[in-house]
């Protein structure tokens, strides 16, 4: 087994899977449960589902769909999107998901991180931090699907999330998400150096070499992939896949 977890991140919009570019225009990918069955056969380490419309539409998670996904899935699952309170998180765990991913709610009620971690353990809480550059190239943490800027530094927010009990950080570069251009190694390195919990690099993965760089140069503990695992290659059609183990072993620390 690889020491570094490579995690497909699948985006839900309604009851369908989609893939975005820079959190904006999206392409239809397919049915969530059918996609899970393919990843079962590919024996991936873990799957993450993020509902990209729940928070913006001011609704909660689609618990019925999550229950279907959990029934089909053979590997650990995490979910984020529309989690507004502890009760939402508890219901997600009850469906069979091992982790919840908290983003916008961490700003609205940061004590939610503490509460979930206290009851379910730090390993069950993933703090999602989305980072976008302004027209002046300054980094800003954004929430609500990238629509709302927060007045906090990404590194400082990562430290705060760890202090409150998050067991991992899902760090996403909005500017690189869906571009296949490679990860923001400088951002990953600064956050990884500042916290002692695992940092999952997300946004920009387009090759196994990019994955290796995120770990070796950026210091990421894990790598999350979107476009690479749902498309044949850039600007080509849908093909659910996963990098070959031998190719990953060649670029990752052993």
Mean pLDDT, range 60-89, rounded to an integer: 97
pLDDT reported for residue 107: 96
Chain-centre distance of CA 186, in angstroms? 18
Return the CATH class of domain 5-251: alpha beta
Tokens (6 digits) for 11:
């985006």
Mean pLDDT, range 191-217, rounded to an integer: 98
pLDDT reported for residue 137: 82
Which of 61-65, 168-172, 232-236 shows the lowest per-residue confidence on average (mean pLDDT)?
A: 232-236
**142-173 pLDDT per residue, tens:** 999 999 999 999 999 999 999 999 999 999 99
State yes or no: pLDDT of 2 exceeds 80. no
The domains of the chain are located at: 5-251
**237-249 pLDDT per residue, tens:** 999 999 999 999 9
Residues 6+ apart with CB under 8 A from 217: 185, 189
pLDDT reported for residue 1: 58
Query: Across the chain, what does the average pLDDT equal?
Result: 96
CA-CA-CA-CA torsion sign (179, 175, 26, 17): positive
Inter-residue contact 81 to 40 (CB < 8 Å): no
State yes or no: pLDDT of 69 exceeds 70. yes
The pTM of the whole model exceeds 0.95: yes
Task: Give 254's pLDDT tier (boundaries 50, 70, 90).
Answer: confident
Tokens (6 digits) for 226:
């979107």
Residue 159 CA: distances (Å) to CA of 52, 122, 124, 165, 191: 25, 14, 18, 10, 8
pLDDT reported for residue 110: 96
State yes or no: pLDDT of 56 exceeds 90. no
Mean pLDDT, range 25-42, rounded to an integer: 96
pLDDT reported for residue 204: 98
State yes or no: pLDDT of 136 exceeds 90. no
Mean pLDDT, range 207-229, rounded to an integer: 98
Inter-residue contact 79 to 92 (CB < 8 Å): yes
**87-124 pLDDT per residue, tens:** 999 999 999 999 999 999 999 999 999 999 999 999 99
User: What residues act catalytically?
Assistant: 130
């Amino acid at each position: 087994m690889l020491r570094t977890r490579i995690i497909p991140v699948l985006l839900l919009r309604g009851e369908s899977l989609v893939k975005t570019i820079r959190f904006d225009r999206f392409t239809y990918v397919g049915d969530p449960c059918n996609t899970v069955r393919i990843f079962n056969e590919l024996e991936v380490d873990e799957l993450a589902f993020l509902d990209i419309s729940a928070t913006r539409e001011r609704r909660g998670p689609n618990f019925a769909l999550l229950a279907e996904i959990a029934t089909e899935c053979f590997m650990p699952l995490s979910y984020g999107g529309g989690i507004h309170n502890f009760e939402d998180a508890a219901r997600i765990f009850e469906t069979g998901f091992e982790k919840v991913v908290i983003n916008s709610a961490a700003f609205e009620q940061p004590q939610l991180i503490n509460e979930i971690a206290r009851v379910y353990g730090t390993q069950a809480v993933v703090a999602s931090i989305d980072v976008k550059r302004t027209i002046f190239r300054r980094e800003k943490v954004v929430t609500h699907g990238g629509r709302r800027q927060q007045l906090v530094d990404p590194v400082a927010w990562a430290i705060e999330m760890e202090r409150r009990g998050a067991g991992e950080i899902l760090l996403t570069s909005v500017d690189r998400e869906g571009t296949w251009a490679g990860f923001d190694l400088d951002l990953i390195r600064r956050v990884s150096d500042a916290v002692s919990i695992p940092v999952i690099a997300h946004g920009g993965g387009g090759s196994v070499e990019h994955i290796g760089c995120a770990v070796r140069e950026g210091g990421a503990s894990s790598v999350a992939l979107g476009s690479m695992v749902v498309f044949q290659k850039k600007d080509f059609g849908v093909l659910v896949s996963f990098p070959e183990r031998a190719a990953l072993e060649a670029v990752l620390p052993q």
